[in-house]
Amino acid sequence: MGDNECCMTTHETRFRVRYAETDQMGVVYYANYLVWMELGRAEYCRAVGMRYRDLELNDGVLLAVVDAHCRYLSSARYDDEVAVTTWIEKANRRMVTFGYRMQNEASQLLATGETKHVFLGPGMRPVKLPEKYHSYFGIVR
């Protein structure tokens, strides 16, 4: 109840690998996949009608990450076009878990991952997500 265990909506966002994101191994440095997850989250939110920036600015609600996990399957390379598919794995008034799948333009799976976040309010204290945002996260009650 109040938990959204499965969510149909997925969103795909695309961008090219930056030179800055590579390392001397000739592939993308591993921490940058977490930056790509952030892009996926931001664009997921925009796609369902909510701007993450407004959540922070207008309502003072932050999504603070408490857990991040990434499985690396193939190397991403400079100038590859990467597609990040993002969805909500689970959400309630207190927290939300996003899932991610990253592919290159040859449809090769690069990585999969999840990030888990809690909602924080003023003073970085946990808060319940304001009701007007529930539907965006697929929280039903």
Handedness of CA 54, 113, 102, 100 (dihedral sign): negative
Say whether 79 is catalytic: no
Residue 95 CB, shortest distance to a second copy, in Å, is: 13
Residue 130 CB, shortest distance to a second copy, in Å, is: 18
Residues 6+ apart with CB under 8 A from 82: 14, 15, 16, 17, 36, 76, 102, 103, 104, 110
Q: 100 and 40 in contact (C-beta within 8 Å)?
A: yes
| 26 is an interface residue for a second copy by CB under 8 A | yes
Q: 121 and 127 in contact (C-beta within 8 Å)?
A: yes
| 35 is an interface residue for a second copy by CB under 8 A | yes
Tokens read off for 26: 């000739």
Which of positions 40-99 make contact with a second copy (CB under 8 A)? 42, 51-53, 62, 64-73, 75, 78-79
Residue 28 CB, shortest distance to a second copy, in Å, is: 9
Interacting residues toward a second copy by CB under 8 A: 15-16, 18-20, 22-27, 29-32, 34-35, 38-39, 42, 51-53, 62, 64-73, 75, 78-79, 115, 124
Catalytic residue set: 23
